[in-house]
Copies of this chain bind each other. A is one copy, B any other.
Amino acid sequence: MSELRQNIITRDWVIIATERAQRPDQFAVAKRELESPPPHQSNCPFCVGNEEDNTVETCRLSDNHHNWKVRAITNKFPALSPTQTGVRISDGIHRTISGIGYHEVIVEHPRHDLTTALLSFQDLANILLVYRQRYSEIRKDPRIETIIIFKNHGESAGTSLEHPHSQIAATPVVPYQFRTRIDEAIRYFDDTGKCLFCRTLEDELAAKERIIVESEYFVAFIPYAALSPFHTWIFPRRHSSSFDDINDEEIADLAIVLKTVMAKIYYGLNNPDYNYTIRSVPTGELGTKYFHWYIAIVPRVSRQAGFELGSGMYINTSLPEESAKFLRSVAYQKRVQSSYVP
């Protein structure tokens, strides 16, 4: 029979629908007929040679030969922009703020045909370094309250651009969802004197059955009340509220954990579309004891339907324990990508 589990961090109730449960491998997407894309595509705005396209480069990581490895650029169609003037209008029940903020693209690699699962550990470390650098820079703008790093991979995850890229968005407000989660984390901290995320991590490490992979500094697991199949969290073991507090050693370690999880998803579920996001505390609350930054990975192997829209609850047709066991068992190519640059 089905059961409801409460996700203690998001506070959402999830129906683990065992009546409709599928075996982990049944979530694998059908083999794609598409040929793999070429390593370079002349009309791709992110490919080498097409850098001058009216975007502004905000960060570049280069090798000794001045070829770039990772670039951060302004989004060509930004949802938010730092050049706007800050206006906040309260008119009756309407609240409006001008679209101040940042919206940048991180071009993850010169090669067009790679994806997180196929990049080398060093490639991933480079991307994380650029995330940290842009995060630290953007945080300095006092108009910014929240910074979100995210990646869309594939059409059902919201992108039609193949070239490996992620995004960073910075908003002049704290999103309501952040506020409610922070409120709950504070309540837990006040009740117990502990960080809710540290406590969750302890619990997952003791239970073991939902762990995918762990390293010196990070633990990847499918939460007890995962909102969707293979919904994965990567938590730093060290309590820290904001991603940009990560040090170089932790970046090298996280690169290995992230690559491992993404490769297991890629080979085990046949390259599904996915999103990942990095969540941190709002910029003004750095150093807080009650919030803990983390990465959430959401393979797009199921859909939100009317029930989810109408209730904010979730129906998950997989068992987190079985999904984690399956991912633990997936073997993948550890071979590091050649550093071929087109």
Contact = CB atoms under 8 A, between A and B. Distances in A.
Interface of A: 1-6, 8, 10-13, 15-17, 19-20, 77-81, 84, 92-99, 146, 148-152, 156-159, 166-167, 169, 171-173, 175-178, 180, 199-200, 203, 224, 275-279, 296, 298, 303-307, 309-313, 315
A97 B306 CA distance: 22
A84 B305 contact: no
B312 A8 contact: no
- A-B pairs, top 8 by smallest CB distance, nearest first, are A158-B305, A177-B312, A277-B310, A150-B306, A2-B99, A275-B306, A11-B176, A6-B95
Nearest to A85: B1
Contacts of A146: 311
A246 B3 CA distance: 32
A1 B152 CA distance: 24
B95 A276 contact: no
Given A157-B306, A309-B150, A310-B279, A19 B296 contact: no
Contacts of A275: 305-306, 309-310
Given A1-B98, A79-B315, 19 more contacts: A2-B79, A13-B97, A15-B80, A16-B99, A17-B77, A19-B78, A20-B79, A79-B307, A93-B203, A150-B305, A151-B306, A157-B303, A158-B306, A167-B306, A176-B312, A275-B306, A275-B310, A277-B306, A277-B311
